[in-house]
Structure 1
Amino acid sequence: MIIGAIEAGGTKFVCGIGNEHGEILDRVSFPTERPEETTARAAAYFEDKNIEALGVGSFGPLDLDPGSGTYGHVTTTPKPGWANYDLLGHLKKKLNVPAGFDTDVNAAAFGEARWGAARGLDSCVYYTVGTGIGVGVYVGGNRVHGLVHPEGGHVPMRRHPDDDFAGACPYHGDCLEGMAAGPALEKRWGQGGDSLPEDHPAWEIEAHYLAEAVTGAILLLSPKKVILGGGVMHQSQLFPLIRSKVARNLNGYVASSVLDDLDAYIVPPGLGDNAGLAGSLALGIEAAQG
């Protein structure tokens, strides 16, 4: 099988083709610009690829209800030009193949469950921490949808005791994304996270908020693996900080031997930076199989 995959990010689109084994055979990326231009560029990439189906994991919020008149639309995004845009409909019209559609983080969780760090497990939670914070939830062998889809990046957080930063989210101020996404780091410290040294106090505060989120996910969803990806998580010193804070937060309350080894439980993506694209490939395989 040759399957098309799109990781539709708010900053860049990554398009690729792969097979039913999760192997990415070719890929290209380009900036996310106006929706009509970006969609046309994505469709043009696939024109000569003879794909049998397409999977799209997109930034959101999205309408994921197949019974809705706006299924496949990007909805209330603040990204200029993209609000209420029929992303899936435009792609299907241009390519005329079966298509799977979900959030980029739900897709990444799906890919990690199929081929990555959560392979063989029936549940995981995937956080991406970058320009924004998104959460993908995979439970009982299924991606979680409901009223809309998980928006765990906008959950309110207990503040770090030494942090008086107002927050950077245009909707909620000091939600998780407003306190811990890349723009929050830059706004709080006056420089991007990639230019801050490993021993900078930024990372202790960053780990606090991410540990609060992970603790909540463990208590609410009871996942068998927690996966932390995205550009901010390339700061590998965050992982031991987050694990120690999660252990302190849980304080032995959740009785599971899995939590005795947090190094193996709270982990980076097994698929690395391919998690999103591989997850979109998994969506396409699912669509091809009906």
Structure 2
Amino acid sequence: MEFFNQIGKVALGSRLRRLTEKITEDAAQIYRLYRIELQPKWFPVYYVLSQGELKTITAIAREIGHSHPSVSKIIREMVKSGLVVEEKDVTDGRRNMVRLSEKGQEVTAKIQRQYQDVSSALEEVSAQATHDLWKAVEEWEFLLEQKSLLRRVQEQQKQRESRQVQVVDYTPPYAAVFKALNEEWISTYFKLEEADHRALDNPEGYILAKGGHILVALYEGEPAGVCALLKMEDSAYDYELAKMAVSPRFQGKNIGWLLGQAALQKARSLGAKTLYLESNTLLKPAIGLYQKLGFKKVVGPATPYQRCNIQMALTLDEQ
């Protein structure tokens, strides 16, 4: 107990396993106490069958919330012990039905006193306890069905790692990173086009000198992502959000979202009212990010990119 008190809630699984093992060990001895040939792990399957209906393995698995392979294994063990029999479904010969054997039905007659004594013992424990374990388990099961523990940990991981991200303005030493990150993702899905070369080979002349801006995301000081705002002339839109790329090494750390948010904030500071972007629907995570940022599909101006099959825009004062 001292170990669990020291390590705290991060050992929840281990502590629950310890409690489960203790209860399961007692349950096995209780069955022996009442001379009942059951294993604790068989009980949910046994109880469903003890209600008297023929059942398929699929139906049992659904009813008790176990996997089909798990229930199938238990049924095989119970058949071997003589508690369960299998037979073909009279209406569909392809399906096996299971039911308690005569020996299994004898268990049902014997187990009633055990139920009574176990229930009384559990009521005694509950009366002595400060917290209602049964209600707590129900509540935890409900909450974890809504959002699993894994998902909750992933969210905490992303939040923690997001705090290690710093978005800074472009400076000349980042030119190689800006080019490399964009070449990497473009080459993975498409091919580099003339407009790509113009922006990536000379970002200072093609983007910055024309009133645009470039942002660089640093993760623990290392360049991890980039994006640009291109000033649009003679257009219904003020800036184009373009050349957004995150290194595969740093994906899953919320960097795309933080870059997007920083780009929107920078656009506002530059007096922009509208933003525009071009993408491809093959890039589903990117499209999802743009939608989350508030971009909506539009019919935009002529594009220099063959790979563009979707255009999106955002009105900043609606954010």
**Normalising by the residue count of structure 1, what TM-score does the alignment of the two structures yield?**
0.26
- Higher relative contact order (Cα pairs below 8 Å, separated by 6+ residues): 1
Structure of larger gyration radius: 2
More helix by proportion, 1 or 2? 2
Query: So what's the TM-score if we normalise by structure 2?
Result: 0.24
